[in-house]
A and B are shown apart, each in its own frame.
Chain A
Amino acid sequence: MSELRELYQTMILDHYKRPRNRGRPEAADRRAAGDNPLCGDKVTVFARVKDGVVTDVGFEGSGCAISTASASLMTESVKGRRVEEVAKLFDRFHEVVTGASEPGSDLGKLTVFVGVREFPMRVKCATLAWHTLRAALEGGGAVSTE
């Protein structure tokens, strides 16, 4: 059960049960929708960008514990960052959940997703919200992890 405990860490379960930044921020000027047809997860990510900085971000949708917690923790991690920093953070996050590199302090709370690397089928769950955020920041549209 240890790999499972690593995957379903307390913080992940907490963010699954009580997601932060749920909903559409009033001043949002970017949005994109994403889905994972494999498991039916759907997410819409909203963002407000001012002078190249993500000043507000939120999400709507339903999904598994990993995708919901990932969306929730993502919103906390990117708020206040510059758009290009967000892109770099996603790259790092992606490397860590696929096992391509080791987590470091630069990821902050996002290191709780390190357990995903033992579950390759769940990488899409962990990255769905991130792919969708990137689409929103790049001009919106729809993304699919399939």
Chain B
Amino acid sequence: MSARRDAPYDVERVRKDFPILQRSMRGKPLVYLDTAASAQKPQAVIDAIVDLYSKHYANIHRGLYELSETSTRLFDEAREKVRRLLGAADAREIVFTRNATEAINLVAASFGRTHVGPGDEVLITHLEHHANIVPWQQLCLEKDARLRVAPVSDAGELRLEELERMISPRTKLVALAHVSNALGTINPVREVVALARAHGVPVLVDGAQAVPRFPVDVRALGCDFYVFSGHKLYGPTGIGALWARAEHLEAMPPYQTGGDMISSVSFEKTTWNKIPHKFEAGTPDIAGAVGLGAAIDYVSALGLERIARHEDDLLAHGTRLLGEIPEVRIVGTARRKAGVLSFVVEGVHPHDVGTILDQEGIAIRAGHHCAQPLMDRLGLPATARASLGLYNRSEDLERLATGLRKVVEMFR
């Protein structure tokens, strides 16, 4: 697994690490093309969770016995692994959450409620996932502020010059996806951050689709907040993380209150714990964090640069194969894309495409991909979406293309 960085990517060997890929689906080898929704788990992640519960488990912090000490150490190590993954300066800047959605809600409820007031603006883009729309929309409703939306082109690319024009003295935050879950577009985050920072506006980046697909360095990006989900990074469900600059976390009020996030409590007054603990009320998902740590070890050993190259090659291959079917139109043709192939089949609803492909043992997603405003912008009720993971191979895309020819045939 810890192959040299320049060694060829041995996908067949990688696949052996994922037990679920060994099973068949409807009598055929499973073709899993829904990693953008959730990734499958390598044995190393499953083992880490089993190992924790079998050998080391106890509640973390303040336990005066060895099990609690070990659990605490494993939990802290997981935080350090997230820090390294994101290139953050300090593990105190990593807050564990349930997922990217909760991380965005945390920022909206804490930072947002503090900084956004009547007449202020929050600027997002037209290609956001609902998770990066609704928390801001609700914040704006509550504060009598205005949600503004930077447009995208027909190809699904952010119109940077429009976004720049929309940043005003009233803009209190810019929030955007690093990679679009619906189209795969890679947003020019560095450029957006430069524009926003020139006006002193902080930037939140939804990295749910980026972190599993290529190396991310929050300091190089220059943003203020970065969020992701563990389950899309080959880790367990129920764990995700927020990275925020320490100065923001220090100044922000708590999101939830209770045990663990306090320094002292009396009935008259409570003082908050230090960061990041101030934002982690109650017993956290200890096994989730440990599993996420194992997932980070796994992708790091493979090398995110190599994973990125592998997925780029597959995306190019899939784009070519689907392009050869006249009835198939690829939706989202940005110049910079990662991991996602959205498409429609002429005269066939994406839902029917999904059902027919399922009969072929091919798992894709059909629908609005939690991005209804983007679908409306593109004039589509839904698309079919094949999304890639580090375990996909050329053959998977060839099976997809063959399946799509059957779809076309069936509806002829």
Contact = CB atoms under 8 A, between A and B. Distances in A.
A65 interface: yes
B351 A125 contact: yes
B355 A40 contact: no
Contact of A39 (B347, B348, B350, B411): B350
Name, among B349, B350, B359, B375, the residue most crowded by chain A CB atoms within 10 Å (CB to CB): B349
Contacts of A63: 349, 351, 381
Contacts of B347: 17
A121 B357 CA distance: 14
A77 B347 CA distance: 25
Given A39-B366, A39-B367, A64 B352 contact: yes
Given A4-B410, A8-B410, A62-B381, A39 B356 contact: no
Which bracket fits the contact residues of A? 20 to 34
Contacts of B368: 40
A66 interface: yes
Contacts of A31: none
Given A63-B349, A65-B349, A39 B355 contact: no
Contacts of A39: 349-351, 366-367, 382
Contacts of B350: 39, 64
A1 B372 CA distance: 33
A3 interface: yes
B411 A13 contact: yes
Nearest to A121: B355
A38 B348 contact: no
Contacts of B411: 8, 13, 65
Given A8-B410, A38-B367, A1 B359 contact: yes
Interface in B249-264: none
Nearest to B410: A8
B381 A119 contact: no
B356 A40 contact: no
Given A4-B359, A8-B410, A40 B348 contact: no
Name, among A17, A39, A68, the residue most crowded by chain B CB atoms within 10 Å (CB to CB): A39
Interface in B362-412: 366-368, 372, 375, 381-382, 410-411
A34 B381 CA distance: 14
Name, among A3, A40, A121, the residue most crowded by chain B CB atoms within 10 Å (CB to CB): A40
Given A39-B366, A40-B367, A41-B381, A65 B359 contact: no
Interface of A: 1, 3-4, 7-8, 13, 17, 38-42, 62-66, 68, 119, 121-122, 125
Interchain residue pairs A-B with the least CB separation, the first 7: A64-B349, A40-B381, A64-B351, A40-B382, A39-B351, A65-B352, A64-B352
7 contacts: A17-B347, A39-B349, A40-B372, A41-B381, A66-B352, A119-B355, A122-B355
Given A4-B359, A8-B352, A40-B372, 10 more contacts: A1-B359, A4-B410, A8-B356, A39-B349, A40-B367, A40-B381, A63-B351, A64-B351, A119-B355, A122-B355
